[in-house]
Structure 1
Amino acid sequence: MVETLEGFAQNESFDVVVIGAGGAGMSAALFAAIDGARVLLVESTDHVGGTTAYSAGTTWIPCSVHAPDVNRDDTAENAGAFLQRAVGERSSDAMRRAFLAAGPKAVAHIEANSDVKYRARPFHPDYLSELEGSTLRGRALEPLPFDGRKLGRHFALIRPPIPEFTVVGGMMVDRDDVGHLLKMTKSFSSLRHAVKLLARHARDRMSWPRGTRLVMGNALIGRLLHSLLARDVTVLVGTRLEAMHKGADGIDGITLSRNGERRRIAVTGGVILASGGFNRHPERRRVMLPGVDAQWCPGAPGHAGNAQDLALAAGARYGEGALSHAFWAPVSVRRRADGTTAVFPHFLMDRGKPGMIVVDKEGRRFLNESTSYHLFGIAMQEAHRKTPSVPAHLVTDAEGLRKYGLGMVRPGGKGLAPFLADGYLVQGATLEELASKLGIDAAGLADSVARMNRYAATGVDPDFRRGTTDYQRANGDAAWTGKNPCLGPIGRAPFYAVRLYPGDIGAATGLVADEHARVLARDDQPIAGLYACGNDMQSVMGGVYPGPGITLGPGLAFAYLAARHAAVRAASSAAPGRESGVAAHA
């Protein structure tokens, strides 16, 4: 049930309180409710979903019940060896083992007891596919689409997707839908699929502010919200965590505020922090992400680090040793008509396709354009220390723009005027004119294009080995007739570019926790009654991004572990009647 803080009595009691209603927090609240706990879910913004609602909703869980549908050969041992090679000493091996053991259980438990449902993508390679132990399929789960109409008036609680990722006025599309829409004039089955989508959306817009067919991250959040409401979990939005209170047995209460009202809440089992990490905390950002403008962050608002500040004051500490404090993606930025800023992550639709290159201020390529978005963001920042590479420039020609689009510019090559007018898209009749408009070296750009054209002919990129791994080739163009699906010539005028910036898409550095997701103090002892999951917890991936969904996967697994431990803790302190009820579930 969705309530307001004003309706609460002072010292109202809950078994488990979850701070943050993103994917991890909502999962933790649901797991605790499934185990019989009385649960309060608190969100600081007016919407639930966090950055999960913006995302593809992909959840990396090796060896789930769905894995055999697409890959019967994977094992937990393979996954563990892969993570050891990818992550190594950057995270605790014990924490990785806990994740691998809990992940399949979490998927089975949530599916058996709620409306949350997943399926395995038929083909979704690990990003570091060159490492032994990687797979091409089976570890990446996606949520099934969800009908938002089932939520009734609560549909408005879900954070809408990034507008630039929708079409025709708020219709969500997933990767399969995009393929059908692009082929609708060439395939009858694609035309039929597209007509069904558009007809459904037209009906939706007669009664709803946006499309109610939810896919990807919005579908996951919709399913979680529907399940939470069915289990009478109390949800507060627009409510801030002001304090945590510590008694003789650990964290036993919190203070919440909303519109000047304050309430102290008693907590018997524990407080689970899932507020999204530090990314919009001004001081943490200055120290951990120097030189990275907050306007380049494509994450949802809300992850301001306030909950982490309170945990640190209670004795918690941040983890150390990660490859990076954050996870990254190259982004392009544009001012919308309403004055807000659109931040568009370039995950896979353009930069790795044939006929695309990325250059620095000298007009030179400085990275493998087909690498994972995380490594791309890191490479931009490392290169910038030597040669101005922020912004970098994603360059293509008329054919590349027509076939693949360029950031917020959709494929087809039409409707360019507004993008050219506001400078988001830069056009040049020649490469020299394009370089002049971008303020980069024309000779360097011409040489980079000439090199790429030679590489496209041979299928080999000797500079950065683009298109040499299964992951890179998967994100190229499967229909490309050249020798390498990631390499193509650039030569058909006019030429185009958009500017790219390193955008932080989530926190890798967080609070140190143990195998039960209990937050640890500086002496490595658990702070009783305090848990963390999602981006509030130090990433088990150690700032490495080995596969799709490596934030949501651990978020789900440690939400399961935190909720189970907190529910049992609540049962041990409850009245006899309630103790048996909770314990039976837990």
Structure 2
Amino acid sequence: MREEEFDVVVVGAGAAGLTAAAVAAAEKCRVALLEATPLIGGTSAVSGGMVWMPANPKQEGDTVAMARIYLRETVPGLANESVREAFLARAGEAVEYLESKTSLKFQPVPVYPDYYPNLPGATSGGRVLEALPFDGTELGEKFALLRPPLPEFTLFGGMMISRADIPHLRNVFRRPTSTWKVMKLLARYARQRMTAQRGTTLYLGNALTGRLFKSVLELGVHISLGTAVERLIEEEGRVCGVETVSHDGERARLRAKAVILASGGFSHDAELRKAHLPPAAQPVSATISSGATSGARLARAAGGRINERAANRAFWVPASCFVRKDGTQGVFPHTVTDRGKPGLIAVDRNGRRFVNEALSYHEFVLAMLRQPDSAVPAYLICDSSFLWKYGLGRIKPFSLSCKADIASGYLHRAETIAELAAKLRLPPQALQDTIDAYNAKAEMGEDPEFGRGGDIYQRHLGDAGVRPNPCVAPIRKPPYYAVAVYPADLGTAAGLRTDARARVLAEDDAPIPGLYACGNDMNSVMNGAYPGPGITLGPALTFGYVAAKDAAALR
């Protein structure tokens, strides 16, 4: 068995692991970064890439005190409070360090409200950061190793678009300025495809992980892809390395002063998933699977424990499932592209609405899980005008044909509501009554049943061009369409218990020497709540930084 010596070993190459590896290397450590898949970036690379960083140095007006008030309003219980305080205290510090020592550069998202904007301490924007756009050609031949975004979120086979470009795409046929903007985007993409397999202008989570990937390359981190950790090495009461196996069967023993677990949680660990997540949410995850032993399982063998007290043990999103042309299974997370837009409703198997469709994706699924017998699956229903303008799930706006998705059973189409109800096996009269009741007030922008569009977060996700309510419009123009959605996790919230220095705790609350956790391997500081955009990536980067700084001191 091959043996090597490092100062720090990091397990997992998502945003948390990349951050930990970059910081440890910047602190002059010899670092090994191990990734079980053949690609860099994990679920972070296919995410929206927003980073919730309260009181960050790029925003004026926010304070740690305001964020603390907001979290006390939204996060259940006092468990984990010391770790949450460490996040509040060190998030801004992490931002400054990463911008000064790595290639990661941030910009504030000026308008993106917290998910409960009417509660004390909430902000309407600036608390959320995102990575600056990144030119993938800066990675050279290594660009091929960066996990691409989900194909359902790109255009023309690989073109990423920024949030600022979305309005131009929607108005491409209506406004000359938008037409010109889209023509320039297409021309740029065409040039890029002459030398690359996909567009090289990266946004969102791909920009975040691309910049971090560049950083670990420049800082000399030893990267092993296709390498899974089989167990932690323990000697004299401390963790001092890992044993690994590569995809080609080569085994190695890597010794280190510290091991940082950042493998992405236990979303694909069937046993832990069954033990910690509700039965109605067992089948579907919107995360990337590595096929390797989860960090939680590795740590449990060394005395670590998963937090049992989180109110919700996963971060939730409604998701639709399909099979791509290449035969791979696809999961589309319905985060912001369709549910909050005007002219769509969600119904349960009784043909009745059961939730405000414009609430956060986490709250939407909590409503499903409160009534799993009737709301799992649920159905998103719209008309032809909505489908053309906004798309539905993996169906993109302005799609000229949906025949393949109809034939596969992903998209249901009918000329009448009664026919649609029959295809979905819903009570026809109940569905007709539901749509009639919704439409009766929708013309005036009202939703007396659920108050859709009732706060700035909901209105932000609507369509500002629709008045008086950007979240409400009638469903009238046949044919009618529907997609089934299921509870899916965006990552596990219950993770390894740690202290404020990201050290994994044993049963007696003593830190296990040499063992750290961050990202979804670490128990969420939010205790299963989802207060705003980027509340997984914000702590992931912060505690990747914290863990690496602490581990570097062990030298």
Give the TM-score normalised by structure 1.
Answer: 0.92
Query: Counterpart of 1:360?
Result: 348
Question: Following the alignment from structure 1 to structure 2, what is the Cα–Cα distance between the partners of residues 381 and 475?
Answer: 23
AA of the residue aligned to 1:64: N
Q: Which segments of 5 or more consecutive residues in structure 1 lack a partner in the other structure?
A: 1-8, 571-586
Query: Counterpart of 2:448?
Result: 462
Query: Counterpart of 1:118?
Result: 106
Query: Counterpart of 1:502?
Result: 487
AA of the residue aligned to 1:180: H
Sort the Cα spacing of 1:420 and 1:88 in 2 relative to 1 into closer, same or farther, 3 A.
closer
Q: Of 239, 242, 261, which residue of structure 1 is paired with 2:250? A: 261
* More divergent stretch after superposition (172-181 vs 548-557): 172-181
Counterparts of residues 242-391 of structure 1 (less than 5 Å): 242-248=230-236, 250-258=238-246, 259-268=248-257, 270-292=258-280, 296-302=284-290, 305-385=293-373, 388-391=374-377
Question: Following the alignment from structure 1 to structure 2, what is the Cα–Cα distance between the partners of residues 243 and 400?
Answer: 51
Question: Following the alignment from structure 1 to structure 2, what is the Cα–Cα distance between the partners of residues 189 and 115?
Answer: 33
Query: Counterpart of 2:471?
Result: 486
Q: Of 203, 209, 216, which residue of structure 1 is paired with 2:204? A: 216
Is the contact between residue 277 and residue 304 of structure 1 (CA under 8 Å) also seen in structure 2? no
Query: Counterpart of 2:394?
Result: 408
Is the contact between residue 170 and residue 389 of structure 2 (CA under 8 Å) also seen in structure 1? no
Query: Counterpart of 1:575?
Result: none
AA of the residue aligned to 2:58: H
Is the contact between residue 40 and residue 146 of structure 2 (CA under 8 Å) also seen in structure 1? yes
Question: Following the alignment from structure 2 to structure 1, what is the Cα–Cα distance between the partners of residues 267 and 402?
Answer: 33
Question: Following the alignment from structure 1 to structure 2, what is the Cα–Cα distance between the partners of residues 457 and 184?
Answer: 26
Name the SS for the 2:351 alignment partner: coil
Question: Following the alignment from structure 1 to structure 2, what is the Cα–Cα distance between the partners of residues 32 and 303?
Answer: 26
Q: Of 490, 514, 520, which residue of structure 1 is paired with 2:499? A: 514
Q: Are 1:447 and 2:433 matched, yes or no?
A: yes
Query: Counterpart of 1:474?
Result: 460
* More divergent stretch after superposition (365-374 vs 315-324): 315-324
Name the SS for the 1:172 alignment partner: coil
Is the contact between residue 228 and residue 293 of structure 2 (CA under 8 Å) also seen in structure 1? no
Q: Of 222, 230, 239, which residue of structure 1 is paired with 2:218? A: 230
AA of the residue aligned to 1:267: A
Question: Following the alignment from structure 1 to structure 2, what is the Cα–Cα distance between the partners of residues 181 and 487?
Answer: 21
> 1:334: Cα distance to partner?
1.4
AA of the residue aligned to 1:414: L
Query: Counterpart of 2:382?
Result: 396
> 1:365: Cα distance to partner?
0.3
Name the SS for the 1:296 alignment partner: coil
Is the contact between residue 279 and residue 305 of structure 1 (CA under 8 Å) also seen in structure 2? no
Question: Following the alignment from structure 2 to structure 1, what is the Cα–Cα distance between the partners of residues 408 and 234?
Answer: 53
Name the SS for the 1:83 alignment partner: helix
Deviation digits for residues 52-99 of structure 1 (CA, Å, limit 9, x no counterpart) = 0010110000111111xxxx2211100011001100416422111100
AA of the residue aligned to 1:504: D
Question: Following the alignment from structure 2 to structure 1, what is the Cα–Cα distance between the partners of residues 291 and 189?
Answer: 32
Deviation digits for residues 33-54 of structure 1 (CA, Å, limit 9, x no counterpart) = 1111111100011011000001
AA of the residue aligned to 2:550: H
Question: Following the alignment from structure 1 to structure 2, what is the Cα–Cα distance between the partners of residues 403 and 11?
Answer: 57
Question: Following the alignment from structure 1 to structure 2, what is the Cα–Cα distance between the partners of residues 400 and 561?
Answer: 46
Counterparts of residues 18-37 of structure 1 (less than 5 Å): 18-37=10-29
Is the contact between residue 380 and residue 483 of structure 2 (CA under 8 Å) also seen in structure 1? yes
Question: Following the alignment from structure 1 to structure 2, what is the Cα–Cα distance between the partners of residues 181 and 484?
Answer: 22
> 1:149: Cα distance to partner?
0.8
Deviation digits for residues 247-282 of structure 1 (CA, Å, limit 9, x no counterpart) = 2261112111112211111112x1000000001001
Q: Of 515, 527, 544, which residue of structure 2 is paired with 1:559? A: 544
Is the contact between residue 103 and residue 215 of structure 2 (CA under 8 Å) also seen in structure 1? yes
Q: Of 404, 410, 414, which residue of structure 2 is paired with 1:418? A: 404
Is the contact between residue 279 and residue 303 of structure 1 (CA under 8 Å) also seen in structure 2? no
Question: Following the alignment from structure 2 to structure 1, what is the Cα–Cα distance between the partners of residues 447 and 454?
Answer: 9
Name the SS for the 1:499 alignment partner: strand
Is the contact between residue 342 and residue 462 of structure 2 (CA under 8 Å) also seen in structure 1? yes
Query: Counterpart of 1:581?
Result: none
Give the TM-score normalised by structure 2.
Answer: 0.97
> 1:293: Cα distance to partner?
6.2
> 1:548: Cα distance to partner?
0.2
Is the contact between residue 280 and residue 305 of structure 1 (CA under 8 Å) also seen in structure 2? no
Question: Following the alignment from structure 1 to structure 2, what is the Cα–Cα distance between the partners of residues 261 and 197?
Answer: 45
Name the SS for the 1:324 alignment partner: coil
Name the SS for the 1:167 alignment partner: coil
AA of the residue aligned to 2:261: L
* More divergent stretch after superposition (288-297 vs 558-567): 288-297
Deviation digits for residues 103-130 of structure 1 (CA, Å, limit 9, x no counterpart) = 1000100001111011001101001112
Q: Are 1:530 and 2:522 matched, yes or no?
A: no
* More divergent stretch after superposition (153-162 vs 174-183): 174-183
Is the contact between residue 266 and residue 295 of structure 2 (CA under 8 Å) also seen in structure 1? no
Question: Following the alignment from structure 2 to structure 1, what is the Cα–Cα distance between the partners of residues 551 and 62?
Answer: 32
Query: Counterpart of 1:578?
Result: none
Is the contact between residue 90 and residue 322 of structure 1 (CA under 8 Å) also seen in structure 2? no
Query: Counterpart of 1:57?
Result: 49
Query: Counterpart of 2:195?
Result: 207
Question: Following the alignment from structure 1 to structure 2, what is the Cα–Cα distance between the partners of residues 290 and 97?
Answer: 29
Q: Which segments of 5 or more consecutive residues in structure 2 lack a partner in the other structure?
A: none
> 1:100: Cα distance to partner?
0.8
> 1:412: Cα distance to partner?
2.5
Name the SS for the 2:486 alignment partner: strand
Is the contact between residue 76 and residue 529 of structure 2 (CA under 8 Å) also seen in structure 1? no
Query: Counterpart of 1:434?
Result: 420
Is the contact between residue 90 and residue 543 of structure 1 (CA under 8 Å) also seen in structure 2? no
Question: Following the alignment from structure 2 to structure 1, what is the Cα–Cα distance between the partners of residues 17 and 291?
Answer: 12
Question: Following the alignment from structure 1 to structure 2, what is the Cα–Cα distance between the partners of residues 428 and 245?
Answer: 59
Query: Counterpart of 2:116?
Result: 128
Deviation digits for residues 136-157 of structure 1 (CA, Å, limit 9, x no counterpart) = 0111101111111111111111
Q: Percent identity?
A: 47
Query: Counterpart of 2:152?
Result: 164
- Aligned CA-pair RMSD: 1.5
Q: Of 29, 33, 46, which residue of structure 2 is paired with 1:41? A: 33
Query: Counterpart of 1:92?
Result: 80
